Amino acid sequence: MSDSEGGAAGRRPASRAPHPELAQQVAYAARLIARAGLVEAFGHVSTRRPEGGFLLTPSTPLLQVKPKDIIHLDLAGRVMGGEKALCPAEAPLHAAIYSACHDVGAICRTHSPAAVVWASRGEVPPLVHGLGGLSGVVTFHHEPQLVASTEAGRAAAGDLGAYDCLLLHANGAVCTAAELPEAVVRAWYLEERSRVAEHARRARALTDSEAVLRARHYESEAQHAWEWLRLRFGDNN
């Protein structure tokens, strides 16, 4: 079997290698969310490629991901560049979301502790603290298995719809946005929202009108949050 068929080297032709700047951004975001405790051994980060398809982290610990490790896939989930053997089992989840949700440009697939608690309960955490709204609008997917097939990916993407974050029953979360920094911010504040809701069980959730008013500040707060996350958990590689 030749290299172009995923043989000994397990790579596609070099002419189809991922865009270097985008690959660097994906690798940086992956290391950041690992340092931030939003993933442990499992999780991945991806971004849409302007030319088509998307870039995805490999199934290795995100804390050590480098740009050269990033995998390039088309929207059918086929590996077009990078090491095919290291393509995550849930690549169909990313492919389905990018195919169905044209406003999504980046995805963080996380297993952060408090969000996992709510996902295991089958509930969306209430918004009881204003900054928790930086998670965006959250919904639920009731299938507990890995999203490892085209059919499963389409089902998850269908549940995501126009929402921003998707809690997967007993299986962590998916946080989406137009750009990688916002997806990272949403992943961080989904965890914050989940943690505060867990510890403040008697707190009153914001009403819809209160949440709308509070959201007026989210654009500037998200930019500030990204800068803080970079300073707190980023690196220079």
Which pLDDT tens digit goes with each residue over 87-146? 999 999 999 999 999 999 999 999 999 999 999 999 999 999 999 999 999 999 999 999
Asked whether the beta carbons of 130 and 120 are under 8 A apart, the reply is no
Asked whether the beta carbons of 137 and 163 are under 8 A apart, the reply is yes
Q: What average pLDDT does range 35-60 have in this prediction?
A: 97
| Domain range for 136 | 3-233
CA distance 21 to 136: 27
| pLDDT of amino acid 5 | 34
Q: Work out how many domains the chain is built from and give that number.
A: 1
Q: Tell me the pLDDT tens digit for each residue of 184-232.
A: 999 999 999 999 999 998 999 999 999 999 999 999 999 999 999 999 9
Edge-to-edge strand ranges of the sheet holding 165-168: 79-81, 71-73, 54-56, 44-48, 106-110, 173-177, 165-168, 138-141
Give the phi and the psi of residue 32 in degrees, each rounded to 5. Answer: -65, -50
Domain with residue 27: its CATH number is 3.40.225.10
Residues with Cβ within 8 Å of residue 121, at least 6 apart in sequence = none
Asked if the model's pLDDT at residue 237 lies above 90, the reply is: no
CA distance 28 to 66: 8
Q: Is the dihedral of CA 22, 27, 32, 38 positive or negative?
A: positive
